[in-house]
Amino acid sequence: MTKFVNGLYKNQALFYKVFLFALTAILIVYLLPKGGKFKYEIPKGKPWQYENLYAPFDFAILKTEEEIQAERQEITRNNTPYFQFDESKLPEIKEQAQSEIELVFTDSILNIHQKQIEEFVNTSLDDLYENGILQESNRLDPDQLVYLRRGNEAFEIPYKRILKLNQVRDVLAQKIENSNLTSLSDGLLEVFFNSVEPNVEFDNELTQRELESKLNNISYTRGNVEQGSRIIAKGEVVEGNKYHILRSLRTEYESQVWSGSSYIWIIVGYSTLVALALLMLLLFIRKYRYDIFENNVKVTFIFFNILFMVMLTTLVVRFNIDYVYVVPLAVLPLTLKAFFDSRLGLFTHVVTVLLLGFIVPNSYEYMFLQIIAGIVTILTVSELYKRANLFISVGEITLVYIISYFAFTIIQEGSIAEIEAEVFLTFLLGGLATLFVQPLIYIYEKIFGLVSDMSLLELSDTNSKLLKEMAEKAPGTFHHSLNVANLAEAAANEINANAMLVRVGALYHDIGKMHNPTYFSENQTSNVNTHDDLDPRESAQIIIEHVIKGIEIGKKNNLPDRVIDFIRTHHGTSTVYFFYKKAKEKDENVPADAFRYPGPIPFSKETAILMMCDGVEAASKSLREPTSGLIDNFVEKIVNKQMEEGQFLNANITFKEIQLIKKILKRKLKNIYHLRVEYPE
């Protein structure tokens, strides 16, 4: 049992990766569509390359979006509007008119014509309000049929039969002219104008409800295809009705909710493909980026980004498939390049796009566009911390999207008439969303404890609190660090290493010397050496302690681990040779381990570069009268000694790269000492 527990403990990192792998695969499969996957690509305008295709089941032929839109417009155009008739108004208006008659006409006129006037007014009002009076014209065709709703019943009448308020005067004038009351026309008109008011209004709510009901009843299909009937033969061109039938079959196939054993087999198929894609990524990381594979936080970060992109794309597809290109997929390679490298960023991007092919329609077109965009992202984005570079790269990525879509549309449609301007807008929105990568990188740094070039740029500022403190407490060490940073940056550029990272590492590698600055020669301002009164072993421990103190100071000031690695490794497991030699003069049997740095030895190109530059720069202060030949021999001696001690065994650096670094160090030191070329006598 103890052996089993110990085995679990020793392999806990591996078990965690297996758990992470399984969890990511399960979540991605859960997000994938719950239907079958149509196994054919539909190449519009091209010959059908597959075998003869027969309908596997009965299915309806879907109308195109254009057909549905045209039908909706036709229904909207021909929709019959509703008008509400208020029946309670007429009795009130008649009562008002009766009062107006008594006010407008004199008693002498009423004594003679009152009965005639009242009868004319009541009859005219009945005629005016037969179909009601409308306040304003709705600019409808006079012959268009409308529904006039009276109570719970609606009657269909021509629109012109509803009297408009501005027509009332003409109608009344005609009625008065046809009566025997023409002499009283002014008074009668005044009675009507003081009484008449609209009693019909447009019923927008009922009209819209009726319109929505009709729109909801639109059939999205036109005809059916019976099981077993041939859809298309091999070699036939995929166009016209054939194309629409194939798309209808694909939609029906993918929308079917599978049950029982079929559903289980589909889940098994999805799980196998997703697991295979993620496994390829893990194997790639293990073979070519083993340091990342060993770091569970970094592996978690990579898998999290894949899952995040799959989840985001799934949500957008379910919301509206037209916005699928708004998802800024280029953020994935940008982020991984910022924290790791281009090769890993591109490989992860390709794996993610392959997984998204299960989710999006027109998967070949989508994958082509996204992979090309990912390649452009990797090739164009350099020095992400420079804002101008990011804007330029986003512009280039958006342009590639547009050009690729343009080309695909021409291939599929045979003309540019079918190009949809709205798609270009989604590409622009996706490009703008890609600019979110900078705040996203900052968030990732805080969550996962990673460091990007943007953080390194901030750390390289010599006005930062920690570097200013070192400049005050240990000015000689600060000057030494600046010189080492310049040498290391030049060397890193020569062999295509991370120059920004090695420069920052060089600036902070000796911060531990702030603890006892006067015990280091570069900070001593007098001829008195504080080590003269100490035992060599004690002096060596003080010197060695600056590495431990540097790590403590770095952690206290929240320096990233990648920067603290330079503090740990810049002396590797070398010995404090000066004091070791001094101790041997007193005792030949003194152990070398007492004078040895704790390590570890450098484990990357950047940490190896710092060790070389630090050793050469520190030792160069001992050169009295440097010449070109002396400097060449001096650099060779320092670096070769480090190699003989095995300090670079764990660093992925080649002999060729070491020779290039030596060359740079020689040239830089000659520039520092202003040496001229030595001509032979």
Give the percent of the chain with pLDDT over 70.
Answer: 91
Q: Are 90 and 196 members of one domain? A: yes
437 and 465, same domain (yes or no): no
Measured CA to CA in angstroms, residue 540 lies from 145, 473, 536, 601, 646 at distances of 105, 21, 6, 19, 21
Alpha-carbon span 527 to 536, nearest angstrom: 19
Instruction: Clarify whether residues 412 and 514 are in a common domain.
Output: no
Smallest CA-to-CA distance from 661 within 627, 613, 628, 618 is with 613
Dihedral angle sign, alpha carbons of residues 366, 367, 370, 376: negative
**Predicted local confidence at residue 141, as pLDDT:** 83
The share of the chain scoring above pLDDT 90, in percent, equals 20
Q: Are residues 414 and 528 in the same domain?
A: no
**What is the C-alpha separation between 72 and 214, in angstroms, rounded?**
9
Q: What is the largest CA-CA distance in the chain?
A: 152
Residue 528 pLDDT class (50, 70, 90 cuts)? low
pLDDT of residue 37: 62
Least confident of 107-111, 467-471, 540-544, 548-552: 107-111
Mean pLDDT of the residues in the chain? 83
Would you say residue 53 lies in a domain?
no
Tell whether 508 is covered by a domain.
Answer: yes
Residue 242 lies in a domain: no
Is 90 exceeded by the pLDDT of residue 178?
A: no
Per-residue pLDDT tens digits for 438-480: 888 888 888 887 887 778 888 888 888 899 999 999 898 899 9
Distance CA 611, CA 492 (A): 12
Domain boundary (395, 430, 448) is at 448
Helix axis angle for 363-380 and 387-413, nearest 10°, is 150
**Residue 165 sits in the same domain as residue 266:** no
pTM of structure: 0.63
Domain membership of residue 52 (yes or no) is: no
C-alpha 176/C-alpha 109 separation (Å) is 17
Our count of domains for the chain comes to 3
Pairing state between β 153-158 and 82-85: unpaired
Q: What is the CA radius of gyration of the chain?
A: 43
Whether 358 and 309 share a structural domain: yes
Write down the residue that tokens 């001690």 correspond to: 645
Per-residue pLDDT reduced to its tens digit, 142-171: 888 888 888 888 888 898 888 888 888 888
Domain end residue (candidates: 405, 423, 448): 448
- Within 8 A by CB and 6+ apart from 207, the residues are 79, 81, 82
Pair (477, 557) in one structural domain: yes
**Whether 435 and 462 share a structural domain:** no
Measured CA distances, 431 to 151, 313, 388 (Å): 57, 15, 14
Separation of alpha carbons 438 and 295, rounded Å: 24
In this predicted model, which residue has the larger pLDDT, 680 or 284?
A: 284
Say which CATH number the domain at 516 has: 1.10.3210.10
* Contact present, 64 and 257 (Cβ < 8 Å): no
Decide which of 9 and 48 is more confident: 48
On whether residue 478 sits in a domain, the answer given is: yes
**Are 427 and 462 within one domain?**
no
Same domain, 265 and 328: yes
Of 404, 420, 448, at which residue does a domain stop?
448
Q: Do 459 and 435 lie in a common domain?
A: no
Which pLDDT band, with edges at 50, 70 and 90, does 511 fall under? Answer: very high
Q: Would the pLDDT of 324 be above 80?
A: yes
What integer pLDDT is reported at residue 304 of this predicted model? Answer: 94
Report CA-CA distances (Å) from 663 to 110, 608, 617, 632, 639.
125, 15, 14, 9, 11
Q: Does residue 81 contact residue 147 with C-beta atoms inside 8 Å?
A: yes
279 — pLDDT class (breaks 50, 70, 90): very high
**Same domain membership, residue 614 and residue 584:** yes
The pLDDT confidence band at residue 679, using thresholds 50, 70 and 90, is very low
Flag whether 277 is in a domain. Answer: yes
Domain enclosing residue 500, as ranges: 453-672
DSSP-derived letter for residue 519 is G
Angle at 598 between CA 593 and CA 603, to 5 degrees: 125
